[in-house]
Structure 1
Amino acid sequence: MIPNTTFCAFILSFISIFLLKPFFKKPSKTKTSLHLPPSPPALPIIGHLHYLGPSLYKSLTKLSTKYGPLLYLKLGVSRCLVVSSASVANEIFKTHDLAFAERPSFPFSDKLPYGSSGFFVAPYGDQWRFIKKLCMTELLSAKQVEKSRVARHEELVRFLLKVLESAKKKQTLDMSVEIMKLTNNSTFRLAMSMRSLDEPHEAERIRKLVKESNEVGAKACLGDMFGPLSKLAFWLYGQRAIDVTLKYDEILERFLKQHEEISNERENEDLMDLLLKAYRDDKSEFKINRIHLKAFLLDLFLAGVGTSAEVGREGDNVKVNMQVGPGITKPMAKPLICLPIVHFNPFTSSI
């Protein structure tokens, strides 16, 4: 075990190097001035992080109201633009989409099992363009989403029947677990024509796994904001990130093998069938491998499940009695105030 004094000395030395680095930096010969959007006053090291509160959208709305629809923020060493105008967003995503297509690399992604194989973290290039084209034309097309309407309706009916059954029995119900099951089963039926969380322990395992991955990802990204501290973040949380990815890999590999065993017994193609077809196509413009398959499924999984896993976070200690359930929502409601609106009558020339 490292003594406390040694650990503190290591941290202080690391931070000192970070603080003194600008003084030893050689001035660049060519200095280009960037015409950046308006920006609030920043603090050393942290930049504009102190402006961001627990409700991120409220903090950004407050800043945009004061500084305009296009706002420049510096979060540690990371620079970003905040766009709160529909016309500006349209210009960025359509007119100048190639200029904004590149994205920063995810912290220590090269050391993780999937690396940059996922669509979310892949750099702009052949792989990213191929997966995007596949999503737009096949995987997430309107036709494919329409095919999943029956499955989504069935899962929603199961969820509502479960809530109704608990209400009749006057039992408490863990809504976070049920919403997790609803989202997971809908996602997996869309992707692989199978339900994933029929067992309660499996739902809880997935929920804990998503929660852990969110925590590790947040800490890793926070370390990445402070430049040299990204190495310290990997030293502290890198192994946890690898372990979480391997746990996901075990689940995804199991579902993938189950899907391959029954793929010939179905008539309708699901998302996994389309991915496997691209995987087996030797003439494809970009050759995807099994890692790409599982990385894409992980992106889909986290996007569909990650938000529902957070439902119970704020209300983990709240129990809802189904008999008096409305009582917990009434304080959140605000009465509507109806005000008379004066109209102009052109025929009487009066108001």
Structure 2
Amino acid sequence: MELLSYTILFLISLVSTFLALNFFSKTRAKTRHYPPGPLALPIIGHMHLFGSSPHHALYNLAKRYGEIISIRLGSVPYIIVSSPEAAREFLRTHELAFAYRPQSIATRYLGYGGHGFAFAPYGPYWKFMKKLCMSELLSGRSLGNFLPIKREEIQGFLQLLSIASADNKSVNIGEELQLMVGNVIWRMSMSRRCSGNEGEAKEIRMLVNDVSKLQIEFNIADYIGFFRNIDLQGLGKRLEVTHQRFDKKMEEIVREHEEKKEKERGESVKDLMDILLEISEDESADMKLTREHIKAFIRDIFGAGTATTALGMEWTLAELINNPRVLKKARDEIDSVVGKHRLVQESDILNLPYMQAIVKETLRLHPTDPIILRESIQDCKINGYDIPAKSGVFINIWAVGRDPNHWENPLDFHPERFIDENGQTQIDLRGQHYHFLPFGSGRRGCPGTTLALQLIETTIAAMVQCFNLKIDGNGEEGGTVDMSEAPGLTLYRAQPLICLPVARLDPLPLVE
């Protein structure tokens, strides 16, 4: 009986809270005009509406409530943006008001207490690191210096496919692509590879995977303050252990680079760690870089670049398998421009507009980060709606890329939509066209866009030139790839892309 009484009291309290919140929200709405949205539940707000794939859930909400809506995740207000026109207002017209990215407990912890670049507040430190990225680390000159690394890793991947083809063995394409991209980024960053099953390579690979998973894992403490000191999910303990493992490995690598610098390193190409250490010792620099800044920046490079770049390739290959007409047209273009006596190179991509269009069309349908995250730093008014300061913003670029007002037959895979009447690619993907934002836009757009595109386009072109991929494992024609998405904030495939590579050309004799 006593238990029943407590249950009744709890239910009365819950209902009272619910009614009070809605009363106060309606009272506030009389003086301020907030975007529309569904009715919130007590405590959790609209968490129950998100499901396992947030971009799908937000898309469905937008169809009911409009291009700008408001929701609440726990106690945190969020604005949902789902059209190109609304995205332009947030990312260009009012860009400075939304130049922050919301930080989670995980990003603060793994980013060395706010020393990371990716989620740093918009201000002097962020501006310094962005300038550093574009002028020293990811400039055309630096990427040119790293061209041999990219070429070696792509050739190594093609050799793996060639051996599998000779042995009539299927390959987990996505897994091998992730290793290849990881090798490129690790070698560029710290002159190391992450391939192999033993020793440091395996340790590095496990660290990167653990950090990436923890960063995007849902943590109820980010939204309901009551749980911040409880660690209900055990995430805090896992963050601490993973951070310590990562920091220990990074400290070893930093010390090794410092020791090598004391010796004569000759004229060898400097990796990103070398460049960062030199800048940290520059007394005339606008901002002093500490060890924590360097380690946090390197972590950001891995977290942002490895999985998403490999996923872009995996989705592209899946679409090509399912669209043999497109595959044939791409192969004919490569044979015409490059021929069959040498391997396609990065420098050839400018002369392969249809290949560029294929990658763009894939990123339109399958943006690997389907939601752009922002946070307002001041009150502002957009399209007549009041947007309060400290509101999180979800810009659903997955929905934007499928907007029927801007894309004809938006669900069809049709690369020709990116080819103009002169046979050249159109619609830039660096954030100037707000119906196509695979890498974000403006100040906080992805600084690694050029590197990602170079890897995706060159690798896909080489695979198209040299191999057919058969999903049924026996080299026969027919069959389609399952294009279902896995749950989560990053657009992983629900099913791994496992294929039998059938050699069309042997890539090794083609290497110059």
Q: TM-score range by the shorter chain?
A: 0.7 to 0.9
In 1, Cα distance between the equivalents of 2:53 and 2:178?
A: 23
Question: Any idea what SS the aligned residue of 2:97 has?
Answer: coil
Q: Which of 127, 133, 136 is 2:134 aligned to?
A: 136
In 2, Cα distance between the equivalents of 1:293 and 1:283?
A: 18
Residue 197 of structure 1 aligns with which residue? 194
What whole-Å deviation, never above 9, does each CA across 1:121-177 have from its counterpart, x for those lacking one?
Answer: 323332222112222332223443344333222211211211221221233545454
**Paired residues of 2:279 and 2:285 also in contact (CA < 8 A):** yes
What whole-Å deviation, never above 9, does each CA across 1:186-243 have from its counterpart, x for those lacking one?
Answer: 1123223x23224323554444434433454455633211221122227833222111
What whole-Å deviation, never above 9, does each CA across 1:297-341 have from its counterpart, x for those lacking one?
Answer: 001111123447989xxxxxxxx99952678962538xxxxxxxx
- Alpha-carbon spacing, 1:143–1:181, altered in 2? closer, same or farther (3 Å): same
**Paired residues of 1:220 and 1:237 also in contact (CA < 8 A):** no
In 2, Cα distance between the equivalents of 1:119 and 1:197?
A: 23
Is 2:453 the counterpart of 1:303? Answer: no
Cα RMSD over matched residues? 3.8
Q: Mean alpha-carbon deviation: is it higher for 181-190 or for 194-203?
A: 194-203
In 1, Cα distance between the equivalents of 2:206 and 2:478?
A: 26
Q: TM-score, normalised by structure 2?
A: 0.51
Is 2:163 the counterpart of 1:165? Answer: yes
In 1, Cα distance between the equivalents of 2:272 and 2:311?
A: 26
In 2, Cα distance between the equivalents of 1:120 and 1:20?
A: 41
Residue 123 of structure 1 aligns with which residue? 121
**Paired residues of 2:149 and 2:184 also in contact (CA < 8 A):** yes
Q: How does 1:57-206 map to 2 (within 5 A)?
A: 57-107=55-105, 114-175=112-173, 177-192=175-190, 194-201=191-198, 202-206=200-204
Q: Which of 222, 225, 232 is 1:224 aligned to?
A: 222
Query: Number of paired residues?
Result: 307
**Paired residues of 1:249 and 1:294 also in contact (CA < 8 A):** yes
- Alpha-carbon spacing, 1:110–1:81, altered in 2? closer, same or farther (3 Å): closer
Q: Mean alpha-carbon deviation: is it higher for 129-138 or for 302-311?
A: 302-311
Bigger relative CO (Cα 8 Å, ≥ 6 apart): 2
Cα offset, 1:290, TM superposition:
0.8
Question: Any idea what SS the aligned residue of 1:231 has?
Answer: coil
- Alpha-carbon spacing, 1:326–1:39, altered in 2? closer, same or farther (3 Å): farther
- Alpha-carbon spacing, 1:175–1:70, altered in 2? closer, same or farther (3 Å): same
Runs of 4 or more consecutive aligned structure 1 residues displaced over 6 Å after TM superposition? 18-25, 108-113, 308-311, 325-328
- Alpha-carbon spacing, 1:34–1:149, altered in 2? closer, same or farther (3 Å): farther
In 1, Cα distance between the equivalents of 2:71 and 2:86?
A: 17
- Alpha-carbon spacing, 1:164–1:84, altered in 2? closer, same or farther (3 Å): same
In 2, Cα distance between the equivalents of 1:52 and 1:327?
A: 39
Residue type of the alignment partner of 1:324:
N
**Paired residues of 1:207 and 1:309 also in contact (CA < 8 A):** no
**Paired residues of 1:181 and 1:197 also in contact (CA < 8 A):** yes
- Alpha-carbon spacing, 1:20–1:237, altered in 2? closer, same or farther (3 Å): farther
Question: Any idea what SS the aligned residue of 2:132 has?
Answer: helix
- Alpha-carbon spacing, 1:291–1:156, altered in 2? closer, same or farther (3 Å): same
Residue 332 of structure 1 aligns with which residue? 482
**Paired residues of 2:146 and 2:188 also in contact (CA < 8 A):** yes
Question: Any idea what SS the aligned residue of 2:80 has?
Answer: strand
Share of identical aligned residues, percent?
32
**Paired residues of 1:64 and 1:71 also in contact (CA < 8 A):** yes
**Paired residues of 1:176 and 1:308 also in contact (CA < 8 A):** no
Q: TM-score, normalised by structure 1?
A: 0.72
In 2, Cα distance between the equivalents of 1:222 and 1:191?
A: 34
Residue 239 of structure 1 aligns with which residue? 237
In 2, Cα distance between the equivalents of 1:146 and 1:249?
A: 30
In 2, Cα distance between the equivalents of 1:21 and 1:163?
A: 63
**Paired residues of 1:177 and 1:203 also in contact (CA < 8 A):** no
Residue 38 of structure 2 aligns with which residue? 40
**Structure 1 unaligned runs (5+)?**
1-11, 312-319, 334-351
**Paired residues of 2:194 and 2:205 also in contact (CA < 8 A):** no
Cα offset, 1:266, TM superposition:
3.4
Structure number with the higher strand fraction is 2
Structure number with the higher helix fraction is 1
Question: Any idea what SS the aligned residue of 2:104 has?
Answer: coil
**Structure 2 unaligned runs (5+)?**
1-6, 313-469, 484-512
